[in-house]
Structure 1
Amino acid sequence: MISPYKPDVQVYPDPAPKVKERNRWHFVCRLEEVPEGGMRPFKVGGRRIVVARVGGKLRAVANTCPHEAARMSDGKVERMWHGDRVGEHYQRERCVIVCPWHNFEFDLDTGGSVSEPERMRLKTYPVEVLNGEVLVLV
């Protein structure tokens, strides 16, 4: 486009504003790079997430604890403990990620805190494995 004020100067429209991509599948790693019973942190689409693998199933959650902002990837992943009576405890099929600072537990499927699911939760992200590649929807 030619400027109406200076005919010899080309004027180009401003480039589109930079917007973080949302709702897009991102490759994070190969499946074998996330050990069974372990987790790995990633920065994806401008967000810090952690991908955990327990029982062959992958889950992805935000890597920042909503309580005091600890890195969840410095914590641990384990099966959720449950008890019907005093002194009776067993592990359920559900899994939790445990905050390294204050031992807050968050359900890896829902992101909700085990003790206060309505007040504290981690953002969860869908995970898929395609041809051995781990993809996260962010």
Structure 2
Amino acid sequence: MKKQKRIYLDYAATTPVDERVIKAMTPYFGKQFGNTMSFHSAGAKASEAVEKSRKVVADMIYAKESEIIFTSSATESNNLALKGIAFANKEKGKHIIISPIEHDCVLESAKWLEKQGFEITRLSVDSFGLIKPDELENAIR
């Protein structure tokens, strides 16, 4: 029987790591590891590597290095983005629009923000997972 090629369909959970990333990161998985918050030489070298990476990313997207934040996961990133934007702009209004098919971390952040006094509008979606543009337009304040 011929061996079939594997088809991976769970990219929402994790993705294969690009070979270039593996090559760039390999030294830090072995001999060059260190806690970026430590004051010893290994920590200083790790911190230097992270800051160099921050500059590379910033340059690639025409951003300032101070605008680049590394997180440990998409969940952490979504929490930081949603809560950060909400609190940074609360003087402009405390209204957030989401759909019921957002990632669980977005739904949980929205619930948390609701407890903090934000108003959450939950748009419905059709059988294809799409929102209705007129419903969105009516929800915008």
Q: Which bin holds the TM-score, normalised by the shorter protein?
A: under 0.3
Structure with more strand by fraction: 1
Task: Work out which structure has the larger RCO, using CA pairs closer than 8 Å and 6 or more positions apart in sequence.
Answer: 1
Q: TM-score, normalised by structure 1?
A: 0.24
